[in-house]
Amino acid sequence: MGKIYSVSEINKYIKMIFDHDTYLNNVTIQGEITNFKAHYTGHLYFTLKDDTSTIKCIMFKSFANLIKFKPADGMKVVITGQISVFERDGAYQIYARTMTPEGLGELYLAYEQLKDKLTKEGLFDLQYKKQIPYLPNRVGIITSKTGAVVKDIINVSTRRYPNANLLIFPAAVQGVNVASTVIEGIDTFNTLNNVDVIIIARGGGSFEDLFGFNDEALARKIFESKIPVISAVGHETDFTICDFAADLRAPTPSAAAELVYPQYTDIVKKIAIDKNRTIIGIQNYITRKREYVKRIKAAKLEKVPLDIMNRHRMMIDGYVRNAENSLRLKIERYKSRCMQTISKLDALSPLKTLTRGYNVAHNSEGVVVKFKKNVKKEDKLNLTFVDGKVNVIVE
């Protein structure tokens, strides 16, 4: 009969044959996932099937942690790995090293899965969106401290509203540290409570470049923020999880600055319109009350007790006083706001500098002379003082 072998010996021999086969050591297989199970240890167990066959698969934790999406039953995938024998059961299986979704990018699938998950949890619901304050005292910007984005936001903000107050928190906008540094910025602003609104900004880029903003922890941090958050990531056609979680999405960083700061001239016009509307409303109110008094006087009141008439007169007088006081207070508030704005504008005036003893020198061509090296003997200069101008010749 020849030599008799044990089961273990046969399984070990078969495993050795599998392990020494170069083709089986690195194979790529396409199929549909079934019987998927994510073990508490982090290992993934599942079966890969096609129309006629199945093969068992295992992916250990070290490789499973590298997958960007969440595998599930019914999902078609492509895996690479090694086919080997599990000696104890005498069964062969694939030890997977990589897994990608078939026909759909891994990053995009991860994005869609996270978006669907957070949508079902209600993180994107409009009822939770916080109101963006009108004309905030200070705006927090979370973005890269270098590059065009921060410059664009500063230029647009100060052009629209000269008294714009911006506080920059430097953060990574690409790579593995995006979510952690942006979360740190949100936490810092919320802890210090020193801004009225937060803008998360980044310029345009590919889907992969912006993927750092498709982070679950970042989305939850935005949702939990007590300070309203505006997302200005990428261009108008770019969408990230950060956009959906924010209280307001801006198509570009520059547009975010426009949403936060209104035009200074628009503010002045709005004050004037509100003032006129208030005055007209009060005048109409007083007119209606006067007409009401006239109708009462014209009516036959011989049988009406005098004290009732007096009571109505006192009520009308009270209405008129309240209306006049309300108008007076509103006018005073508008005057105070206008004076504050005028003071700020006056502080920025170049004439203020001249009152402190400085003067400005222009050459014969009207160009401001900033440096000594730009002047030579016999040059004619024009010096501007706070109270007038003087022509001088350089000796």
Per-residue pLDDT for the chain (395 aa), expressed as one digit of tens each?
Answer: 578 888 888 888 888 888 888 888 889 898 888 889 999 999 999 999 888 888 999 999 999 988 888 888 878 888 999 998 888 888 889 999 998 887 656 777 888 889 999 999 999 999 999 999 988 999 999 999 887 899 999 999 999 988 899 999 999 998 889 999 999 999 999 999 999 999 999 988 877 788 899 999 999 999 999 999 999 998 887 889 999 999 999 999 999 999 998 888 888 888 888 888 999 999 899 999 888 888 777 765 555 566 677 777 888 888 888 888 888 888 888 888 888 888 777 767 666 666 767 788 888 888 888 888 888 888 888 888 878 889 999 88
Q: Are 372 and 361 in contact (CB under 8 A)?
A: no
Single-letter residue type at 160: R
User: Quick one: which of 264, 212, 274 has its CA closest to 240?
Assistant: 212
Q: What is the mean pLDDT of the chain?
A: 86
Q: Are 197 and 139 in contact (CB under 8 A)?
A: yes
Number of residues in the chain: 395
φ/ψ of residue 323, rounded to 5: -65, -45
C-alpha to C-alpha distance for 156 and 137, rounded to whole angstroms = 16
- Other Cβ atoms within 10 Å of 33 Cβ, number: 20
φ/ψ of residue 23, rounded to 5: -65, -40
Single-letter residue type at 361: A
Contacts of 263 (CB under 8 A, 6+ apart): 160, 161
Record the tokens describing residue 79, joined without a space. 């895996």
pTM (whole model) above 0.75: no
φ/ψ of residue 343, rounded to 5: -65, -40
CA dihedral 322, 325, 327, 328 (to 10 degrees): 180
**For 134-263, where are the alpha helices, taking DSSP H only?**
148-160, 178-192, 216-224, 241-245, 253-260
Q: What sign does the dihedral 126-129-133-136 (CA atoms) show?
A: negative
CA dihedral 156, 161, 167, 172 (to 10 degrees): -10
C-alpha to C-alpha distance for 376 and 176, rounded to whole angstroms = 58
